[in-house]
Amino acid sequence: MKFGDYFKELRLRSKMTLRHFCEKNQFDPGNISKLERNILPAPSAEEKLNNYARALGIKAGDDEYLTFFDLARASRLIGTDIHNITDAELLNMLPVLFRTLDNKEITAEKLERIINIIKDEVKK
């Protein structure tokens, strides 16, 4: 699942229209619309993401919170080109990859090895 799709799913679960959600939480409807359509990547500011999470009714530390932040990270790292990926299984694995790499000491040598492994697999 993509960040924007997840964001929209959570907003719809609260039974709020885009306009009502934005008015209630003082968000720009144009930006939220672009987020939900995966045109914009998730913001990098932790405070902004936390504001979105609170507005969507996500509690810090629960599974939805972790998924929300994992998908946000993936959307920033991959950019909006993520919407071109059609393999659902691959999309679901990306947040796990980024969570695994997060806060780990990745040296240039280790990163190069990872890239070479990926390149080798893509060639097959």
Query: What is the C-alpha to C-alpha distance for residues 3 and 82, in angstroms, rounded to an integer?
Result: 10
- Nearest 5°: CA angle at 63, between 37 and 38? 10
**What is the arithmetic mean of pLDDT over 58-78?**
87
pLDDT higher than 80, residue 50: yes
The whole model's pTM is what? 0.66
- Rounded to whole angstroms, the Cα distance separating 77 from 117 reads 19
In whole angstroms, give the CA distance from residue 90 to residue 95. 10
pLDDT band at 2 (very low <50, low <70, confident <90, very high): confident
Whether residue 76 contacts residue 38, with contact meaning beta carbons closer than 8 Å, is answered with no
- For residue 59, what is the DSSP state? P
